[in-house]
């Protein structure tokens, strides 16, 4: 719950994933358009790419294979065609790992917190430290899905729950952006979340069996409007 909360300082609240430009140029106008946009992004970007990358990163932690995490991080980074998106992804990713280190420091200090809530044993904490070192030495970029997968493993989350959080966090960030831009209301946002619930459950059942050879993405229109966004003089959101 803590990891999926919008209060968690990952930076997702400051992103619109191109929605801001799509709204500005009248490509998205109402709640129905926002719903379609989220579903399309889930189908063509988040599930076949981000979620699979997250699973591979989780396996890297379970197997204590730092090279696997670095490799998938490089692959994901190379697939991000928009500079603004690459930068935002790495900033959010590093912030997640820094949060995990701070959270792990609380175990043992407060006896009211059961140790199984944060299952960051020495091996997992060492993995986070080593991966952060890879980022600092520029051997790895530290993209959001990879760092999220590492964090999810350290917290002992199941894969299915982790990819549901990934999809939920993305959807909420888009809905939040749409609310702040004034094209939908808060109640519309809840309606949209309810409408995509069945799709999220279906995706979470299928994607956990995917591997690195199954990664793909196809969102050229969104890429174009993200490129337009990074050249705008006035912007409300990071992406």
- Residue 120: what pLDDT? 47
Nearest to 72 by CA among 54, 92, 91, 97: 54
Better-predicted residue by pLDDT, 98 or 53: 53
pTM here? 0.86
CA distance 104 to 56: 22
- Residue 17: what pLDDT? 76
Confidence of residue 235 (pLDDT cuts 50, 70, 90): low
CA 159 to chain CA centroid, nearest Å: 14
Number of Cβ within 10 Å of residue 187's Cβ equals 9
Range 92-102 average pLDDT: 87
Confidence of residue 67 (pLDDT cuts 50, 70, 90): very high
- Residue 16: what pLDDT? 75
pLDDT in tens, 25-49: 889 899 999 999 999 999 999 999 9
CA distance 75 to 104: 29
CATH class entry, domain 12-229: mainly alpha
pLDDT in tens, 162-214: 999 999 989 988 998 899 889 999 999 999 999 998 888 888 888 888 888 99
Confidence of residue 68 (pLDDT cuts 50, 70, 90): very high
Tell me what percent of the residues of the chain surpass a pLDDT of 70.
87
């Amino acid at each position: 719950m803590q990891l999926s909360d919008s209060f968690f300082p990952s930076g997702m609240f400051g992103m619109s994933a191109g929605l801001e430009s799509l709204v500005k140029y009248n490509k998205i106008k109402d709640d129905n358009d926002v719903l379609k946009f989220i579903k399309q992004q889930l189908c063509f970007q988040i599930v076949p790419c981000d979620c699979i990358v997250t699973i591979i990163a989780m396996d890297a932690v379970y197997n204590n294979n730092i090279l696997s995490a670095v490799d998938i991080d490089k692959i994901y980074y190379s697939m991000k065609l928009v500079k603004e998106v690459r930068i935002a992804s790495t900033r959010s990713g590093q912030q997640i790992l820094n949060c995990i280190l701070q959270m792990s420091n609380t175990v043992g200090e407060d006896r009211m917190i059961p140790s199984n809530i944060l299952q960051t044993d020495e091996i997992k904490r060492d993995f986070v430290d080593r991966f952060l070192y890879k980022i600092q030495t520029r051997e790895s970029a530290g993209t959001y899905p990879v760092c999220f997968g590492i964090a999810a493993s350290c917290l002992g989350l199941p894969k299915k729950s982790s990819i549901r959080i990934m999809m939920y966090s993305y959807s909420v960030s888009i809905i939040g952006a749409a609310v702040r831009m004034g094209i939908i209301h808060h109640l519309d946002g809840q309606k949209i979340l309810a409408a995509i619930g069945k799709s999220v459950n279906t995706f979470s059942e299928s994607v956990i069996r995917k591997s690195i050879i199954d990664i793909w993405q196809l969102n050229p229109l969104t890429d174009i409007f993200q490129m337009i966004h990074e050249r705008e003089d006035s912007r409300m959101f990071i992406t």
